[in-house]
Structure 1
Amino acid sequence: MKKIVSVSSKKDLAAFIDFPHDLYKDDPYYVPELFIAQRDLLTKHPFHKHNQVQCFLAYNGDKIVGRIAAILNNAHNSYNKVNDGFFGFFDCVNDTEVSTMLFDIATKWLKGKGVTGKLLGPVNFSTNEPCGLLVEGFDSSPFLMQTYNYPYYAQLIENFGLQKDVDLIAWHWDGQAYDDRSVRLLDSLQERLKRNNIIIRKVDLKKFKEETIKLREVYNSAWDQNTGFVPLTDDEFDYLAKDLKLILDPDFALVAEQNGKIVAFGLALPNYNEIFKKIKRGRLLPTGIFKLLFGKKDIQSIRIYALGVIDGYRKMGIEACLYGTIIKEYKQKGYKHAEAGWTLENNTMINEAIKAIKGDPYKKYRLYQKQI
C-alpha cells in the first residue's frame, strides 16, 4: 500500500536525505550529497528564519519510493509581488502514481499556507541554491552544486501538468579547447580598465568578512533581473560565503574594484564532486573525511560558479577580464575540464559571450510551473 508521510523526526530526515543513494545506487554518474551538508541545509540554514519548508516521503509498504519538499519562500513572494509556492528535493521511482501523490501533498500543504499562485520548481530552496531538472546531458556526472536526475523525471513532472517555465544552460570546455583571445588581450583590457580606475584583484581572505559585505551588494544587484531571483539576506549570504570559503581556490576568486568599490566579481570553484562521488552515502566518517582532505590535489576540473557585473559597468570589458584571468589560471594549473553556468536560455548577451570563447552548451536544466 502506497502512502505519504510527513518528515517530523531525525530518523525521517535521515531517510529523506539517504533515499537518493538507494535510488541511484547503480547509476555511474550519480554523486551523493554530503549528509552533514544536507542535514544542515534542511534544518539550520538561515532560509528557515523567514520561510517554511515541509518534507514528505512516499512509501510503498515499508519501502521508500519517493520524496519531495514543499517550500514557502516568503522573500520570493514579497520581492516579486506574487503568491507562489515551490517544490524541491524531488526524487522518485518511475511510477506516476507515486509522483502524483507527492505533488498532490506538496500542493495541498502550500494551499494550506495560503498560496494561490503558481507551483514552481524544482529548487532547493531557491534559484540561489541548486535548482532545475536535468533534461539534456545525462552522459556525465554533475559538477559541484548542480543537480542530477534520471531522464524519466521530466515525464513524471509533466504528467502532473507542470510545464516549462525557463531552461538553464551549463557550458563545458574540454582540455585546452577554448578561445584564449581574452587571455591574449588581458594586459590591454586591464590597462583600459585602469584608465577608469578599475582594477582586477583576488579576494582578500584575510579580510574575508569585510569583503563579504561588499560582495553581497554586488550579488544582489548583478542578478536582480534573473528569473526567480530573490536577494539573499545578510545571514543567507554569510552562510553561503562561509561554505564557499572552505573550498575556494583564492586564484579563482576575483573582484573588479573602482576606487575601493567592488563593481563585479568572478568565482570559479574546484569541482569537489570528483571527490564526493567516492564518498559512500555522503558520510565523512569513518573514511570519507580522508578522501576529502587528500583528494583536492587530484581534482581535474573547475566550475565557473558566478560572474556578475553591476549595472552601469557592463560592456566595459570587465567580464572579458574576469574570464581571461580565470582561463589563464585554469591553463597554468593544468585542469582538464571546465564548466560555466548555469545561464538563462534567454540571456543572449552572456550566452553569445560564452559561445565566443568556444563554450559547449552540453547540459540543460528546466524550471517548471503550474497554476495551483
Structure 2
Amino acid sequence: MNAIPAEVVVMPADEGQAFCDFIDLPYRVRGGDPDWVPPLRIQQRDALDRIRNPFYRHAELRLFIAYRAGQPVGRIAAINNAVHNQTHGERTTQWGFFECENEKVAASALFAAVEDAAAGWGHDLLRGPFNPSVNDEIGLQIDAFDRPSFIMIPSNPAYYRPLVEAAGYSKTVDLYCFWIDAGTLSGELTRVGPATIARGNIRYRKLNKATLDRDAEKIWRVYNSAWEKNWLWVHATREEFLHLVKNLRQIADFDLAWVAENSDGEMVGISIAIPNINEAIMPIRDGRLLPLGWLRLLWGSRRGAIKGLRFLVMGVLEPWRGQGIDVALNYNQLQEAVRGGYTHAEMSQILETNTSMLNAATRMGGVRYKTHRMFEKALH
C-alpha cells in the first residue's frame, strides 16, 4: 500500500454516512464561489448509481473520501472501465469526481487510494478526470475560472490543477470551449448553409418529442460512428445512450435539435443543442430540489428565461463529410436560436487535435475562451 499521511484518513465511500459525505462535499468545498454552478444532488446520485446507470454494467466504481479531524476534506472515484480497456488495449484506471480543499496532503492521499485500486486491478496507467466516462463530463478546468459552466461541463477552482500535478499527473490532451454570439452568423455560415440546403439532396429536419424514441436509435448509430476515430473514444452502449436521452428530453428544446437524411431516408448527420439549464440551477445553492428548489428550477427554466445553449452532439458520417452538411445543420440551429430568444452558445470540449471541429467552431464565429485538460500517470 502507498503511505498515507497520518493526519489524513481515507475511507471507502460506497455506502452509509461516507457516501452521504461524498455527495455533500462539493457544497462544503465550493459553496462560497459565486461562479460555481452547484450540481443537483439527484444528478450526482444518478451518475453514481450502480443499479440504474447502465454504464456500470461494464464498469466497476470505487469511491473514496478523505477526512481530517473527522471532517470530510476531499473525495475521488476510481473507475475500471472494461469496455475502454478492451477497445484500446490498455490496462487503465480512470479517476473522476475529484473535489478537495486546497490541501496537497489530502489530495495526495486520495490519489494514493486510486493508485492502490489500480494496482489491485492489475492496471499500469491512470487517466482522468472522467465523471464517470468519456460520454459524460470529462476534464479539469485550467482557465476562465470566473465564467460559470454550461450544462454537462465540469468546473473547478484554479488550485485543483496544482494538486493534481503535485500527485505526479501530467497533461494528456486539452479540450477547448468556444463562446458564440447566437445573433452573429459568420460569412461562411450564411453563404454555405443556405447553398447546401438549396441543393436538395439532403433533407434537414428537427427532432420532435413524438418520434424521439424511434429517432434516438438512429442518432445513437450516427453518434458512435461519427466519433469512433476520436481520441480514446468508447462507443456508448444502446442502454447508456438511451439513458442520456431520457435525462435530456426533460429539458430539450426541439427547435435546436436537427438531423440530416439522404434520399434513402438514412440519417447521415446530427447536431443537437440544448438549453443551458445551469442558468436555472445556479440559484439552488445546496443542490436540493426540496422543499423549494424545484420551484426555482421551474421558474428559471420557463420558456424564454434561459439565454444560453450548448452544442451537445455533432457529427456527420464519414462518406458524407466535406459537403457542407455540418454547416447547414448549424445554420438551421442558430437561425432557430435567434428566433427563440437565445443570445449566446457554447461549443464545448473540442479536442485540440480535432481540426475539423475547431474549424466548425470558427465558422460559427466562436471565440476560444475556456480549456479543460486530461491528465495521466504511469504506475511503476
Q: State if a TM-score over 0.5 links the two structures.
A: yes
Superposition pairs of residues 308-323 of structure 1, within 5 angstroms: 308-323=315-330
Per-residue deviation, 1:152: 1.0
Contact 1:253–1:268 under 8 Å retained in 2: yes
Contact 2:41–2:288 under 8 Å retained in 1: yes
User: In structure 1, what is the equivalent of residue 123 of structure 2?
Assistant: 115
What secondary structure sits across from 2:374 in the alignment? strand
Given residue 110 of structure 1, which amino acid in structure 2 is its aligned partner?
Answer: A
Q: 2:171 aligns with which of 157, 164, 173?
A: 164
Give the Cα separation in 1 of the matches to 2:340 and 2:276: 14
Change (3 A) 1:205 1:244: same
Give the Cα separation in 2 of the matches to 1:301 and 1:206: 25
User: In structure 2, what is the equivalent of residue 186 of structure 1?
Assistant: 193
Which whole-Å deviations, capped at 9, do the CAs of 1:255-299 have from their partners, x for residues lacking one?
A: 111122111110111000011111131111111111222222311
User: In structure 1, what is the equivalent of residue 3 of structure 2?
Assistant: none
Change (3 A) 1:221 1:256: same
Which whole-Å deviations, capped at 9, do the CAs of 1:124-172 have from their partners, x for residues lacking one?
A: 1111100100012112100010011011111111111111000000000
Percent of matched pairs sharing the same residue: 35
Per-residue deviation, 1:356: 2.9
Give the Cα separation in 2 of the matches to 1:157 and 1:8: 23
Contact 2:181–2:366 under 8 Å retained in 1: no
Change (3 A) 1:238 1:10: farther
Q: 1:31 aligns with which of 33, 37, 61?
A: 37
Q: 2:138 aligns with which of 121, 131, 134?
A: 131
Given residue 209 of structure 2, which amino acid in structure 1 is its aligned partner?
Answer: L
- The answer to whether 1:3 aligns with 2:9 is yes
TM-score, scaled to structure 2: 0.94
Per-residue deviation, 1:186: 3.3
User: In structure 1, what is the equivalent of residue 68 of structure 2?
Assistant: 60
Please tell me the root mean square deviation across aligned C-alpha atoms, in Å: 1.4
Give the Cα separation in 2 of the matches to 1:230 and 1:214: 18
Which is further off, 129-138 or 204-213? 204-213
Give the Cα separation in 1 of the matches to 2:99 and 2:77: 10
User: In structure 2, what is the equivalent of residue 270 of structure 1?
Assistant: 275
Per-residue deviation, 1:307: 0.9
Given residue 71 of structure 2, which amino acid in structure 1 is its aligned partner?
Answer: K
Contact 1:142–1:273 under 8 Å retained in 2: yes
Which is further off, 289-298 or 222-231? 289-298
Per-residue deviation, 1:175: 5.6
Per-residue deviation, 1:38: 1.1
Which whole-Å deviations, capped at 9, do the CAs of 1:68-110 have from their partners, x for residues lacking one?
A: 0000010100111111110000011111111110000001012
User: In structure 2, what is the equivalent of residue 150 of structure 1?
Assistant: 157
Give the Cα separation in 1 of the matches to 2:86 and 2:43: 28
Contact 1:70–1:106 under 8 Å retained in 2: yes
Per-residue deviation, 1:334: 2.1
Superposition pairs of residues 329-368 of structure 1, within 5 angstroms: 329-368=336-375
- The answer to whether 1:98 aligns with 2:106 is yes
- The answer to whether 1:293 aligns with 2:298 is yes
Give the Cα separation in 1 of the matches to 2:142 and 2:370: 8
Give the Cα separation in 1 of the matches to 2:360 and 2:224: 22
Which whole-Å deviations, capped at 9, do the CAs of 1:322-372 have from their partners, x for residues lacking one?
A: 110111111112222211122101111221232233211000000011112
User: In structure 2, what is the equivalent of residue 280 of structure 1?
Assistant: 285
Give the Cα separation in 1 of the matches to 2:278 and 2:173: 26
Contact 2:182–2:334 under 8 Å retained in 1: no
Which is further off, 204-213 or 120-129? 204-213
User: In structure 2, what is the equivalent of residue 84 of structure 1?
Assistant: 92
Give the Cα separation in 1 of the matches to 2:87 and 2:329: 30
Given residue 115 of structure 2, which amino acid in structure 1 is its aligned partner?
Answer: T
User: In structure 2, what is the equivalent of residue 49 of structure 1?
Assistant: 57
User: In structure 1, what is the equivalent of residue 252 of structure 2?
Assistant: 248
Given residue 267 of structure 1, which amino acid in structure 2 is its aligned partner?
Answer: I
User: In structure 2, what is the equivalent of residue 227 of structure 1?
Assistant: 231
Which whole-Å deviations, capped at 9, do the CAs of 1:162-191 have from their partners, x for residues lacking one?
A: 110000000002463441642455332112
TM-score, scaled to structure 1: 0.96
What secondary structure sits across from 1:281 in the alignment? coil
What secondary structure sits across from 1:279 in the alignment? coil
Give the Cα separation in 2 of the matches to 1:346 and 1:354: 14
Contact 2:180–2:366 under 8 Å retained in 1: yes
Which whole-Å deviations, capped at 9, do the CAs of 1:41-74 have from their partners, x for residues lacking one?
A: 2012111111100010000011111000000010
Give the Cα separation in 1 of the matches to 2:135 and 2:208: 23
What secondary structure sits across from 2:286 in the alignment? helix
Q: 2:208 aligns with which of 204, 208, 214?
A: 204
Change (3 A) 1:217 1:175: closer
Number of aligned residues: 368
Contact 1:171–1:363 under 8 Å retained in 2: yes
